[in-house]
Chains A and B, each alone.
Chain A
Amino acid sequence: MADAKKMLLKILRYDPEHDSAPHFVPYGVPWDDQTSFLDGLQYLKDNVCPDLSFRSSCRMAICGSCGVMINGVPKLACKTFLRHYPDGANVEPLANFPVERDLVVDLTHFLEYIQALKPYVIGNSRQPKDGPNMQTPEEMSRYHQFALCINCGLCYAACPQFGLNPAFYGPGAITLGHRYNLDSRDHGQADRMRNINSENGVWGCTLVGYCSEVCPKHVDPAAALQQCKVAGALDFASSVLHCKKNKEACHVD
């Protein structure tokens, strides 16, 4: 690749020990038709700047490590190719997350929100000795798309509501909660809806829809959130009706 053509990548660098703010640094990266942005970053780390920090693992778009902004759009570096950017590109850390170092952002909130929405089977007492649950392909198709989320965080970088309010649970976490709500083996919807319907839950979503546009696995988180709103509204309606019927049993949470 030594005498191959080079492309100009401007990378947003930030070293918390030495810099007061991130700044762009230009680099030339040799490339061919197969070179991904991740290959480009790895080339730089190997040959030019070993102190460049970024996350990567599987390099086949399934582990969700290498999310970055390429020309302002959230992308997985491993499945975005230099050949599509003949004029070069700007590479920045994922938007809406605090920058820790170069292209590495702090994902703590995201991980906490996933946990808060209880993405696991609740209320099914079946044991291995009882054999597998039955679940028809139709039942599975209700949630399957939402189970394809790789937790890459691109949807959070695309979501202005998360950018404006970092306490918003956000598209990825709510989608995972919804995935279990839709699973025929699960009985935890009521439990999950308390958080999904809470102040920082699904109602913070204004259906910008960019999350679904940038999702590298076509999960369509915007759809999950709208479905959650429908479920939340139905929950609310039924609780109002329920209250009217049994006034004494009703209390405000």
Chain B
Amino acid sequence: MQTITVDIAIVGAGGAGIRAAIEVAKNNPDFTVALISKVYPMRSHTVAAEGGSAAVRQETDSLELHFNDTVSGGDWLCDQDVVEYFVQQCPHEMIQLEQWGCPWSRKPDGSINVRNFGGMKVARTWFAADKTGFHILHTLFQTSLKYPQIRRLDEHFVLDILVDDGRVAGVVVLNMLEGELVQVRAGAVVFATGGAGRVYRYNTNASVVTGEGMGIAYRHGVALRDMEFVQYHPTGLPGSGILITEASRGEGGVLLNKDGYRYLQDYGLGPETPLGQPKPKFMELGPRDKVSQAFWHEWRAGRMEHSPQGDYSLLDIRHLGKEKILERLPMIRELAIEYMGIDPIDAPIPVRPTAHYTMGGIATDQQCESSIKGLFAAGECSSVGMHGANRLGSNSLAEILVFGALAGQGAAMRSKEGVKSNAAALDAQAKDVEKSFTGLLRQKGKEKWSVIRDEMGLAMEDGCGIYRSEELMQKTINKLAELQDRIKKVGIVDSSIVFNTDVLNLIEIGYGLDVAEGMAHSAMQRKESRGAHQRLDESCKARDDENFLKHSLAYYKKGSAPRIEYGPVNITKLPPAKRVYGAEGASQDKQNKEKGNG
């Protein structure tokens, strides 16, 4: 097995991973960084983000307002010290990206333009038409090419981390083309491996978003925090799940049921706002959890359109006019034409909620470091504590930048401590990884990983969807346990070692199953409704701050259900209050203001 030694190993080359790599390289010219990814960096899922990235920009806006929106949007499960740091850093990161060449959309005078987004009180979403993630990722990737000390290991699949004496010492990766294992020794490791949306059948995520980063940390005893909170995006295309950006509502698009009625007004987001005049935190600019939940109720009431790909609502942007659609939303137009045969200039787009984002992830402290010293996590794979029970749209692109940079800084500091690891112990660990990998390659059996993947996806949708109940969650938990047995009987057909994706799929789904169990058990134990975790059982329908204003922590237990513990939520300035939008939200804001003045 080849061994290479670097100062810092970064796993995942999406937005968070590359941002971390640049941060290290820029500040430490003598450091070497291994930037490891199972795909070429520009294939990472950051590329598919559409709407934009939040940072306070306008004079009518303030860091405090961004903070308040984020904390209330997260149903008070956010760590407020983390959110405070986040909102402070966002403008810096957006400007930094601008200076690296990101083509942010501009006003006629050449200054930065911003747009409205769901759950945000003031327009503060920086955007590059509706390809913001694409432009951010490519700008970061291209900027990273400036630094020769960033050594990219493209198409290298991480199999495990190396840990010596409670401290991370590197990773073992598979060179996918060569089919050979490589031991990458490093003074610190940053995980930026993305979410786990693919454990759901119907989702907006790229096929690479399988959750093995979370799974690896989890199996090493790091807690997965707040895993029950999985965001359903209200607008995905039926069938494929392809994302139709929230910016289409930010620009003024409306959601209709089959009677052409703007149903959101019946679910605490009204009164109806005039067509073409979107109002922050009203109607279609409500937060994603509420908008998806409203769909669910309407669907249950039989007021959605039917199709073989599932029932759907209608997203109407026709009134924006051709020119604005072409300028602000060119990609969603293209997607609707290509994949649905519908031109949104002429007809409404069929949409339905689809699994989108894991609010939870690898538990880290405020500096992005996990319970294993030197193992950092940033971006969707992590839970630094900022999203709480529901993430606001455009906070995740900002997150990968802010916390990607922070994780890079932290990792550089850890690496500088220069702690020597026991080389023989690491070699032995790497040998074990190789042994189990070779075992998988030769695994025989009648099961197929594709069947396991599909059954897992369906089970997660049934038990851990928009609304949950004890009975359905129990069924999901039982199913996942059954799949854990069956996955050991999956036979590997591919006998070649060069780009063997048969075995890699099996590994991904194996980690995915662990993560799914973390989600389902965390959900089962949270006997309340909060943010994206909504329960239908009688005693659990309301938020219960007394018992559940705390983070869940799922710990891996080999061969059995995870252990669920709880940790405190850090509340600094904004005490828990009723989470309201629409007219009720406006009157709450008014009262708070009067209180503040009086």
Do A and B share a direct contact in the complex (Cβ within 8 angstroms)? yes
Give residues of chain A (13-47) contacting chain B, Cβ–Cβ below 8 Å: 15-18, 33-34, 45-47
Stretch at the interface among A60-68, A196-204, A236-244: A60-68
Stretch at the interface among A143-151, A163-171, A205-213, A225-233: A143-151
Contact A128 B92 (CB under 8 A): yes
Contact A62 B101 (CB under 8 A): no
CA distance A249 to B485 in the complex (A): 77
Counting CB contacts under 8 A, is A107 at the interface? yes
Counting CB contacts under 8 A, is A79 at the interface? yes
Contact B499 A101 (CB under 8 A): yes
Task: List the A side residues contacting B92 at CB < 8 Å.
Answer: 128
Task: List the B side residues contacting A104 at CB < 8 Å.
Answer: 499
Can you show 25 pairs from A to B with CB atoms below 8 A apart?
A: A16-B496, A17-B496, A50-B505, A51-B494, A51-B495, A51-B496, A51-B502, A59-B206, A60-B339, A62-B134, A63-B43, A100-B177, A118-B145, A120-B101, A120-B142, A120-B143, A126-B99, A128-B95, A140-B103, A143-B103, A147-B103, A148-B131, A150-B42, A150-B47, A183-B101
Task: List the A side residues contacting B143 at CB < 8 Å.
Answer: 120-121
Give residues of chain B (77-111) contacting chain A, Cβ–Cβ below 8 Å: 92, 95-96, 98-101, 103-104, 106, 108-111
Known contacts A50-B505, A57-B208; 16 additional CB pairs below 8 A are A18-B496, A33-B341, A46-B450, A50-B448, A50-B492, A51-B502, A55-B39, A57-B43, A62-B48, A62-B131, A100-B499, A101-B499, A107-B40, A128-B95, A143-B103, A150-B47
Task: List the A side residues contacting B131 at CB < 8 Å.
Answer: 62, 148
Contact B101 A180 (CB under 8 A): yes
Task: List the B side residues contacting A106 at CB < 8 Å.
Answer: 177
Counting CB contacts under 8 A, is B474 at the interface? no
CA distance A111 to B37 in the complex (A): 15
Task: List the A side residues contacting B26 at CB < 8 Å.
Answer: none
Interface residues of chain B, those whose CB is within 8 Å of chain A, are 39-40, 42-45, 47-48, 92, 95-96, 98-101, 103-104, 106, 108-112, 131, 134-135, 138, 142-143, 145-146, 154, 177, 206-208, 239-240, 242-243, 309, 331, 334-335, 338-339, 341, 448-450, 492-502, 505
| B242: nearest chain-A partner, CB-CB | A60
**Assuming the A-B contacts A119-B145, A134-B110, A147-B135, are A59 and B242 also in contact, with contact meaning beta carbons closer than 8 angstroms in the complex?**
yes
Contact A139 B96 (CB under 8 A): no
Counting CB contacts under 8 A, is A71 at the interface? no
**Assuming the A-B contacts A115-B145, A140-B103, are A34 and B339 also in contact, with contact meaning beta carbons closer than 8 angstroms in the complex?**
yes
CB proximity of B356 to chain A, nearest CB, Å: 14
CB proximity of B326 to chain A, nearest CB, Å: 13
Contact A17 B48 (CB under 8 A): no
Contact B47 A132 (CB under 8 A): no
The listed residue (A15, A47, A132) touching B95 by CB distance below 8 A is: A132
